[in-house]
């Protein structure tokens, strides 16, 4: 009995230390997740401008970004600096693509909020991420001359990729995002080469109006109810939540249905359209850095899944389409 009591006390002490370490780990993880959410909000509420470098596969692109936030309204200009001149202008969820060489203005409406330096694909994305990713902090670095904290988001399955987020220590804004394959290869790298948090603001921000000789084109987009569709797609599949289904009208007789899914960080889209004889369909999955696509014919329709996810995820979503007439 004299030996038993000290052993019991030792066991209780060790158990207490173990439970305390778990609790501290959970608190630490929650603090990092809160930092991810704060970064997403800062991307919307701060004004900033800078030089962006995007590297995806063999593709490299430099752009200049201006984001200004006033009175709860967002205005953004992204100008491509390489290749054919082009400028994307966003006022809240309205988007224009201005192509000066062709004197063309294309307009569209954004349906997901993910665009660098935003982190999350939807408002409740942070809570979803905790289910599908583990979070940890790596040693600090510097990006664009500024000190950053580096967060590693590791997937809990093989349905998604690993992310590394470089967040400004002072104001939490995302300064660089990296996407890694399971083998540790960098699939995509987007980040600021230069950044200013005191940009020259546009006094009266607005979308561009077409001048003499300019043409405009807009994609007709309308939301679709499930009763209008000849197929069913799951509301939640493999950790990805369905956001919306829309119909994009490209021509008089050509309509493309797009259903957007997200796990809060990664996004993918299921495109369905009537199969036409002039449609050439790749026989193998196509990849462009982090973005992959896979297509197949199902009855009289062509189904394509495209997103920043592994090939396995694309294949499972192709199989998830259920045709009502079958």
Residue 149 has pLDDT above 60, yes or no: yes
DSSP annotation of 227 reads: G
Q: What is the pLDDT of residues 161-217, one digit of tens each?
A: 999 999 999 999 999 999 999 999 999 999 999 999 999 888 888 888 888 999 988
The encoded tokens of residue 172 equal: 């939490």
* Cα distance between residue 87 and residue 105, in whole Å: 10
Q: What is the mean pLDDT of residues 8-19?
A: 56
- Residues 53, 290, 91, 250: what is their CA dihedral angle, to the nearest 10 degrees? 130
Q: Which pLDDT value is given to residue 287?
A: 64
The model's pLDDT over 91-145, given as tens digits with 9 standing for 90+, comes to 888 888 999 999 999 887 665 555 889 988 765 556 678 889 999 999 999 999 9
What's this model's pTM, rounded to 2 decimal places? 0.85
Looking up tokens 């000290």, which residue turns up? 6
The sign one gets for the Cα dihedral 275, 280, 282, 287 is: negative
Q: Is residue 288 very low, low, confident or very high in pLDDT (cuts 50, 70, 90)?
A: low
Measured CA distances, 25 to 20, 21, 28, 151, 157 (Å): 9, 6, 5, 15, 21
Measure the CA–CA gap between 19 and 40, rounded to whole angstroms. Answer: 32
Write the pLDDT tens digit of every residue in 213-251: 999 887 777 888 888 889 999 999 999 999 888 888 766
More confident residue, 58 or 311: 311
Q: Give dist(CA 94, CA 107) in Å, integer.
A: 8
Range with the largest mean pLDDT of 131-140, 276-285, 288-297: 131-140
| Residue among 43, 207, 50 nearest 120 (CA) | 43
DSSP conformation class of 121: S
Tokens describing residue 280: 């050439």
**Each residue's pLDDT tens digit, 20-77:** 444 444 455 889 999 999 999 999 999 999 999 999 878 899 999 999 998 878 999 9
Nearest to 316 by CA among 286, 290, 294, 297: 294
Which residues share a beta bridge with 304?
271, 295
- Residue 11, pLDDT above cutoff 90: no
Give the per-residue pLDDT at 218: 79
pLDDT score for 25: 45
Distance CA 148, CA 173 (A): 9
Instruction: Transcribe 142-188 into DSSP letters.
Output: EETTEEEEEEEEEESSSSS-EEEEEEETTT--EEEEEEE-TTS-EEE
Looking at residue 24, its pLDDT comes to 46
- Output the six-digit token pair for 46: 């701060």
What is the spatial distance between Cα 168 and Cα 39, in angstroms, rounded to a whole number?
A: 9
Give the pLDDT confidence score for residue 27 in this predicted structure.
57
């Amino acid at each position: 009995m004299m030996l038993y009591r000290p052993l019991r006390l030792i066991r209780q002490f060790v158990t207490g230390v173990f439970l305390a370490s778990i609790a501290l780990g959970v608190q630490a993880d929650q603090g990092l997740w809160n930092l991810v959410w704060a970064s997403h909000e800062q991307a919307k509420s701060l004004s900033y401008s800078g030089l962006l470098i995007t590297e995806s596969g063999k593709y490299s692109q430099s752009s200049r970004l201006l984001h200004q936030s006033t009175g709860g309204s967002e205005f953004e200009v992204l100008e491509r600096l390489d290749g054919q001149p082009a400028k994307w202008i966003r006022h809240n969820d309205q988007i224009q693509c201005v192509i000066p060489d062709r004197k063309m203005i294309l307009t569209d409406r954004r349906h997901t909020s993910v665009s660098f330096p935003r982190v999350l694909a939807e408002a409740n994305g942070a809570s979803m991420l905790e289910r599908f990713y583990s979070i940890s902090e790596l040693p600090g670095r510097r990006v664009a001359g500024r000190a950053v904290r580096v967060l590693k988001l590791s997937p809990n399955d093989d349905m998604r990729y690993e992310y590394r987020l470089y967040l400004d220590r002072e104001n939490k804004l995302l300064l660089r995002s990296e996407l890694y394959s399971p083998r540790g290869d960098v699939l995509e790298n987007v980040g600021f080469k230069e950044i200013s948090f005191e940009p020259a603001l546009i006094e009266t921000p607005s979308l561009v109006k077409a001048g003499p000789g300019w043409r405009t084109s807009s994609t007709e987009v309308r939301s679709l109810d499930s009763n209008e569709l000849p197929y069913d797609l799951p509301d939640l599949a493999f950790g990805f939540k369905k956001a919306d289904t829309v119909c994009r009208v490209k021509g008089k007789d050509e309509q493309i249905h797009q259903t957007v899914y997200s796990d809060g960080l990664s996004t993918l889209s299921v495109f369905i359209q009537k199969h036409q004889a002039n449609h050439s369909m790749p026989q193998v999955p196509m990849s462009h850095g982090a973005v992959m696509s896979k297509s197949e014919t199902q009855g009289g329709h062509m189904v394509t899944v495209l997103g920043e996810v592994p090939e396995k995820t694309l294949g499972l979503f192709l199989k998830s389409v259920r045709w009502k007439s079958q």
